C-alpha cells in the first residue's frame, strides 16, 4: 500500500478540526534540527484506522498499520523539509503569506465557532493543545499547500497532443462492449407449481397490457418483485456480456422501446424492455479525453513531486527511529 506523498490529504485540509490529544511517546524521526514525534504520526493515522480495521484483521491488519505508519511518517518528514525550504526562500512575499495565515485563523474561528473565541479556546484546552501549537499546525498546512502549488502544480502541463497519443496507443483500453439500457419486470414463480402457474399468467397478462398501451414502468411498479420495482424496473446500463444468456439473447433481438416475450429463468418470469443501446466499438475520443488528461496529470504530479522531494532530501539530515514504529 506504499503511497505517494499524502500532502493533499493530510497537510492541506481546507478545514482543520481540533481532535483528541495523542500522548507524545517518543521520537519517530530526526529531520535536520527538528523532530517528528510518534504522537504526531499516530494522530495523523487516527482518521484512517477505522477503515483499516474494517478491511483487515490479525497479521494483515498489523502489516497495513505498519505501512500506513511509514507512509505518514514519510509525509511528515516531507512537510518539515518543505517548511525549511520556505524559510530559506528569499523570493517569497512572506509578509503577505503570514497575513493570509492570520486571516485563515480568523476565518476558521468565525466559520466553525461563529466568532466565539472563548468557545474555540475551550475546545483547544479539551484537546490539550495550546493556541500557539494550533496556529503553528495551521500555518504549516497553509505554507505546505502554497509551496506545493508553486513547486508542483504550477509545473504540471498536460498537452492535448499527449492526451491524443495515449488514446491512439491504447485502442483496446478505449473500446467498449455492446451496452444496453433496460427495464425489467420480475415475477417470482419458485415456491410451488401453483405459484409457477400464477406467476406465468401474471407475466403474460402484464405483457398483453403493455403491448396494448400500458406503460412498462407503471406496470413494473405495480407487480415487479425485485429491488428495482420502485424505480419502474429501471436496471440502467449493462454490458451485454454481463447479462446471463437467457436475458442477453432475447435482448439482442430487440429494437429500441420494444419489449421481450416472457422469459423463464430459474423458475421466475421476466419481461425486458430495451430503452437504449450502444454498439460495441471504439469509445469516442471526446468521451474519454477528460479521464485521460486526469490520469496523465496524476502521473506528472507524482513525477514532479518525487523530483522535488529528492532535491529537498539531498542535503538534509534524516534519521528514522525504527524502534518507535507501532
How many beta carbons lie within 10 A of that of residue 183, not counting itself?
Answer: 22
CA 254 – CA 247 distance, rounded (Å): 11
| Pair (213, 127) in one structural domain | no
Model confidence over 229-256: pLDDT tens digits? Answer: 999 999 999 999 999 999 999 999 999 9
* Cell, residue 218: 407503471
Note whether residue 288 is domain-resident.
no
Instruction: Please report the pLDDT score of residue 52 as a whole number.
Output: 93
How many beta carbons lie within 10 A of that of residue 182, not counting itself?
Answer: 21
pLDDT bin (cut points 50, 70, 90) of residue 129 is: confident
CATH number at residue 43: 1.10.4030.10
Query: Pick from 324, 309, 316, 310: which is nearest to 34 by CA?
Result: 316
| Pair (111, 208) in one structural domain | no
Model confidence over 27-40: pLDDT tens digits? Answer: 999 999 999 999 88
Ranges 1-10, 160-169, 176-185, 249-258: which has the least confidence: 1-10
CA 115 – CA 291 distance, rounded (Å): 42
Secondary structure (3-state) at 195: helix
Task: State the DSSP code for 234.
Answer: E
| Pair (29, 115) in one structural domain | yes
The residue range of the domain holding 233 is 176-282
pTM check: above 0.75: no
Amino acid at each position: 500500500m506504499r503511497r505517494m506523498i499524502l500532502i493533499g490529504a493530510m497537510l492541506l485540509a481546507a478545514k482543520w478540526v481540533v481532535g483528541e490529544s495523542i500522548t507524545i511517546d517518543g521520537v519517530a524521526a530526526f529531520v535536520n534540527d527538528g523532530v517528528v514525534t510518534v504522537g504526531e504520526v499516530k494522530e495523523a493515522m487516527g482518521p484512517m484506522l477505522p477503515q483499516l480495521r474494517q478491511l483487515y484483521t490479525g497479521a494483515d491488519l498489523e502489516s497495513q498499520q505498519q505501512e500506513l505508519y511509514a507512509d505518514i511518517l514519510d509525509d511528515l518528514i516531507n512537510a518539515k523539509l518543505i517548511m525549511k525550504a520556505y524559510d530559506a526562500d528569499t523570493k517569497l512575499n512572506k509578509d503577505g503569506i503570514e497575513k493570509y495565515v492570520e486571516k485563515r485563523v480568523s476565518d476558521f474561528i468565525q466559520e466553525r465557532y461563529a466568532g466565539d473565541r472563548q468557545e474555540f479556546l475551550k475546545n483547544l484546552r479539551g484537546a490539550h493543545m495550546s493556541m500557539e501549537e494550533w496556529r503553528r499546525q495551521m500555518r504549516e498546512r497553509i505554507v505546505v499547500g502554497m509551496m506545493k502549488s508553486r513547486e508542483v502544480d504550477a509545473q504540471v502541463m498536460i498537452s492535448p497532443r499527449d492526451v491524443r497519443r495515449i488514446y491512439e496507443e491504447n485502442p483496446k483500453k478505449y473500446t467498449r462492449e455492446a451496452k444496453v439500457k433496460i427495464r425489467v419486470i420480475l415475477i417470482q414463480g419458485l415456491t410451488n407449481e401453483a405459484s409457477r402457474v400464477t406467476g406465468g399468467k401474471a407475466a403474460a397478462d402484464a405483457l398483453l397490457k403493455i403491448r396494448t398501451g400500458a406503460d412498462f414502468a407503471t406496470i413494473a411498479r405495480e407487480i415487479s418483485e425485485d429491488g428495482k420495482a420502485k424505480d419502474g424496473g429501471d436496471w440502467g446500463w449493462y454490458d451485454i456480456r454481463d447479462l446471463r444468456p437467457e436475458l442477453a439473447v432475447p435482448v439482442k433481438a430487440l429494437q429500441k422501446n420494444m419489449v421481450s416475450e416472457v422469459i423463464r429463468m430459474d423458475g421466475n418470469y421476466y419481461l425486458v424492455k430495451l430503452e437504449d443501446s450502444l454498439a460495441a466499438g471504439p469509445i469516442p475520443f471526446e468521451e474519454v479525453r477528460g479521464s485521460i488528461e486526469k490520469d496523465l496529470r496524476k502521473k506528472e504530479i507524482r513525477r514532479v513531486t518525487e523530483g522535488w522531494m529528492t532535491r529537498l532530501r539531498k542535503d538534509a539530515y534524516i534519521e528514522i527511529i525504527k524502534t518507535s514504529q507501532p
